[in-house]
Chain A
């Protein structure tokens, strides 16, 4: 009925093995793949749409009040939508284990617990960065070809904007991974992510007094803008500072998730 004990060599749990497990998990849920596809479509679809409108010289595309002012940002019109989609993907990757109960199997297999979180974050970051980088290179290259006098890869700031966009999308996804593990609820974590990435800056713009406006540039969305924009805004952080601040938010969220995972019951 069961096979002999001797047949199965005993191996230890190790980080590379947990990475492999998370890799298998990532690619074996259809909703994950669909969300990944949607995220890519949003980035490329909106980018190309806005680029062709911009190229026409007709009304520039993009969300009202936020129309692109230069050819490069026209191609990256889809970034905001993609931020949410990649964020949701990250949330699904962790919170989905809690909502289905899978987490108990995962943690019984890796009872030290934290390797599961680190492996999830690493697999997610690697996959999403590659996908997002490809998508952002495609949307830039094709988008600019639709625009007369569009930018080229050798223009200053372009490479940074393309890679930075991939970094922003990966980072938003990692925020989702952390929030999902911290809150253990898909709707809760997606709502929080939306609030942090979009509402916070709007609310701050309305409520924060003028003398405090320095604080606004440290918000996650503003820090993200700082390293994805081709042309730097005044009163924004430098690209490197923006990247550092944004990474800080990711580290803090993952750290909080790790603390909760280690401390509380599965």
Chain B
């Protein structure tokens, strides 16, 4: 269980995290979503006691992480940047971390096998690919077999096989009753793995919803209708609760009425309909819609005149 209360972090006059409050529950995978620079990594570092909050608190299993006598058994984390000495082998990196809290060598070998680094465990980390580095980070997160697992963009740099592996790993960890908190930029990725979502933008909480709730609210669908008798059809379907947006001659987009309803009414009035398409925004579009006011580093669309 992770609990965050009124958490704020300022770097000079830059507010990276701004009054965040949320709870991450055990037994499920919770996705932590937000655009670049929205404060996800900063929040995770504060949960782990690496960055000191400007104000507010973050607790892991009821206490600030640093106040646990056995921190590695409470929480394990994969942080965003490589947090490994490049001159050391993967094995010795894990062995040194394990030693701080009396984790035996056998567990080091175990986590190396779990993440599939057996072949390269005795090689220096400096030569590792991005994906191998991620796997090593995950191995160190799992060392203490912790109750809380925090992963900052774990799929970063992983191949499709690796992505699938991570997805299953997170689900398994949650199924064992652990708290799994994972950050990502990709709504679609989270829709596949997470049960709950915490969405932030510019350091502030935007949404704290279940994935199914988010998908429901996001499926704000509309229907595209094309007909040679546009005017007659327009009169037929406009009314309170529906918006009809004229797009082109004989083409409009209707929200507030289902495709079935529109088709039935047209058929009843004998109006021919040439197209009737349900338009559902993708999760990614819904996510962008949700965070559009909170995007810090917006890309300019070159040559766009809209």
Q: Which residues of A contact B (CB under 8 A)?
A: 1-3, 5, 7-13, 17-18, 20-22, 24-25, 28-32, 96-97, 100-113, 264-266
Contact of A11 among B48, B70, B168, B169 (CB under 8 A): B70
Let me know if A101 and B96 touch, CB within 8 A. no
B85-114 CB mask vs A (1 if < 8 Å, else 0) is 111110011011101111100010010001
Let me know if B101 and A105 touch, CB within 8 A. no
How far in angstroms is the closest Cβ of chain B from A26?
Answer: 9
Let me know if A11 and B102 touch, CB within 8 A. yes
Within 8 A of A (CB), among B29-71: 45, 48-52, 65-66, 68-71
In terms of DSSP, what is the predominant structure of the interface of chain A?
helix
Q: A31-B87, A101-B81 are in contact. Are A24 and B145 (CB under 8 A)?
A: no
Q: How many residues of B contact A (CB 8 A)?
A: 48
B101-141 CB mask vs A (1 if < 8 Å, else 0) is 11100010010001000000000100000000000000010
Query: When chains A and B are docked, how far (Å) is the Cα of A21 from the Cα of B71?
Result: 15
Q: Which residues of B contact A (CB under 8 A)?
A: 45, 48-52, 65-66, 68-73, 77, 79, 81-89, 92-93, 95-97, 99-103, 107, 110, 114, 124, 140, 142, 144-145, 168-169, 172-173, 176
Query: When chains A and B are docked, how far (Å) is the Cα of A13 from the Cα of B85?
Result: 21
Let me know if A2 and B51 touch, CB within 8 A. no
**B-side contacts of A3, CB under 8 Å:** 110, 145
Most buried by B among A9, A31, A111: A111
Pairs A–B under 8 Å by Cβ, sample size 15: A2-B142, A11-B103, A12-B70, A21-B97, A21-B100, A101-B83, A102-B84, A102-B85, A105-B83, A105-B84, A106-B97, A108-B77, A109-B101, A111-B49, A113-B66
Q: A1-B169, A2-B114, A12-B70 are in contact. Are A20 and B99 (CB under 8 A)?
A: yes
Contact of A29 among B81, B87, B168, B173 (CB under 8 A): B87
**B-side contacts of A266, CB under 8 Å:** 45, 50-51
Most buried by A among B69, B88, B92: B88
Let me know if B172 and A10 touch, CB within 8 A. no
Query: When chains A and B are docked, how far (Å) is the Cα of A90 from the Cα of B51?
Result: 25
Contact of A21 among B51, B96, B173, B176 (CB under 8 A): B96
Let me know if A104 and B50 touch, CB within 8 A. yes
**A-side contacts of B169, CB under 8 Å:** 1-2
Contact of A112 among B50, B66, B87, B107 (CB under 8 A): B66
Closest to B71 in A: A111
**A-side contacts of B102, CB under 8 Å:** 9, 11-12, 17
Let me know if B99 and A17 touch, CB within 8 A. yes
Query: When chains A and B are docked, how far (Å) is the Cα of A130 from the Cα of B295?
Result: 57
Let me know if B52 and A13 touch, CB within 8 A. no
Contact of B100 among A2, A17, A104 (CB under 8 A): A17
